[in-house]
Structure 1
Amino acid sequence: MLQYYDIRKKCEGSLCYDFSNMEKLLNQKSVRDSLGVGKIHFVSCSTEVYLAMLVDWMRNLEVGIPALLEDGINLLIYAGEYDLICNWLGNSRWVHAMEWSGKREFTTSLEVPFVVDGSEAGLLKSYGPLSFLKVHDAGHMVPMDQPKAALEMLKKWTNGTLAESGPHKEKLVAEM
């Protein structure tokens, strides 16, 4: 069967990814206590959550994003390069086409390597509060396909240092 989440792989199981380790971890009493969720049992794919989110299905939510950017809210859009269902090219195109005050600067900004442990793990483009990252060698579930890169991405983004992931500024000036 075609794997919509990673074009390189064959779909195995109902969700095409094995979430059993995550389910085991998140259902441990100590983890549930730390998260403050009480006796709620974690499941990978919840019918209740799915039904609650149907009101957002196929709605264009991009129209609200420019206001967030104008308010200085940092936004990271990332995609695995082998994801078919939420492909990186489609995501890149809507991000580049989005109308906001930093559009010109974002679209003309350099794409720089996102480096993890000395190796290029993706390509990053940033300007102001907006960052777009294409993660190499990953499908839809970037954290499962590239856990080190996903963790580094999240750490740097939450610390406000993701845009500094590329070459040093001195190198960029020297190349110009």
Structure 2
Amino acid sequence: PAICHAAQSVCYDGVVGWYDNEAGADGRNRFDITAPCEIDEMCYIEAALIERYLNSPSVWEALSPPQQVTEYKFVATSVIDAFAQSADGMVSSSKQIAFLLANNVDFLAYQGNLDLACNTAGNLRWANSLSWKGQTEFTAKPLLPWVSINSGSQEPVGIAKEIQVSVGEGTDETSRFAFVTVDNAGHLCWYYGSCPKIGRM
């Protein structure tokens, strides 16, 4: 865990902190590098609206949370701290994804190209380095523009590459692995009206 904490510290102090220290209302937004934060915490006004809705008496009663839970917080520092103490943020899930692909489960990695938190360069590097049966084929495949079947136009809405690989010898079962970016979208694709574009998959 000490090594993981050190890595997390370097990442935060060297990249994330620069944005978060200037975040807040009208501050930097690492979830969309083209727009300032609308509010403190998660930057988006919708976060405050969700929080208010879930804390409303009728919803709270319907959800019936445990007595120890006294309110819903969109950003709960105690939860973030608990994950940080476990070094969860530095633990790779690559083995689990390779397992899914080996067992006939398709996998889609996507993000908006305005997102610094889960950025295109980092996600592409991860996708290309994922160790699995289709790695060589996937890495060799070029990124190409893609057109949404939902948008009604023939304008590219991002870049993508995907492959379909046989799960094993003597079977027709396959797994698909795809990497997709969505133009003009940040961390929360639905916020930009971009998620329906993923209908191509």
**1:6 paired residue number:** 32
Letter in 2 for 1:102: G
Return the alpha-carbon distance in structure 2 between the equivalents of residues 112 and 32 of structure 1. Answer: 48
**1:73 paired residue number:** 105
SS in 2 for 1:23: helix
Return the alpha-carbon distance in structure 2 between the equivalents of residues 80 and 27 of structure 1. Answer: 30
- Cα displacement (A) at 1:20: 2.8
SS in 2 for 1:143: helix
Note the aligned Cα RMSD (angstroms): 2.8
Tell me how many residue pairs correspond in the alignment.
151
Which of 46, 60, 71 is the equivalent residue of 2:76? 46
Q: Runs ≥4 in structure 1, deviation > 6 angstroms?
A: none
**1:150 paired residue number:** 195
**2:43 paired residue number:** 16
Return the alpha-carbon distance in structure 2 between the equivalents of residues 65 and 140 of structure 1. Answer: 21
Return the alpha-carbon distance in structure 1 between the equivalents of residues 179 and 53 of structure 2. Answer: 30
2:31 and 2:187 in contact (8 A); partners too:
yes
**1:168 paired residue number:** none
Return the index of the structure with the highest Cα Rg: 2
SS in 2 for 1:57: helix
Letter in 2 for 1:62: S
Please list every run of 5 or more consecutive structure 1 residues that lacks an aligned counterpart in the other structure.
163-176
Measured against aligned partners, the alpha-carbon deviations of 1:5-26 in whole angstroms (never above 9, x if no partner) come to 2111223422222213333555
**2:9 paired residue number:** none
Letter in 2 for 1:14: E
- Cα displacement (A) at 1:38: 3.2
Return the alpha-carbon distance in structure 2 between the equivalents of residues 23 and 80 of structure 1. Answer: 24
**2:146 paired residue number:** 113
Please list every run of 5 or more consecutive structure 2 residues that lacks an aligned counterpart in the other structure.
1-21, 23-27, 165-175
Return the alpha-carbon distance in structure 2 between the equivalents of residues 139 and 127 of structure 1. Answer: 25
Percent sequence identity is 28
Return the alpha-carbon distance in structure 2 between the equivalents of residues 31 and 98 of structure 1. Answer: 42
SS in 2 for 1:125: strand
1:124 lines up with 2:160 in the alignment? yes
1:82 and 1:138 in contact (8 A); partners too:
yes
Classify 1:101/1:50 alpha carbon distance in 2 versus 1 (closer, same or farther; 3 Å): same
1:109 and 1:126 in contact (8 A); partners too:
no
The more displaced of 118-127 and 81-90 is 118-127
Return the alpha-carbon distance in structure 2 between the equivalents of residues 31 and 70 of structure 1. Answer: 42
The equivalences for 1:25-40 within 5 A come to 26=54, 29=58, 33=62, 37-39=63-65
Classify 1:138/1:57 alpha carbon distance in 2 versus 1 (closer, same or farther; 3 Å): same
- Cα displacement (A) at 1:112: 4.3
- Cα displacement (A) at 1:106: 2.2
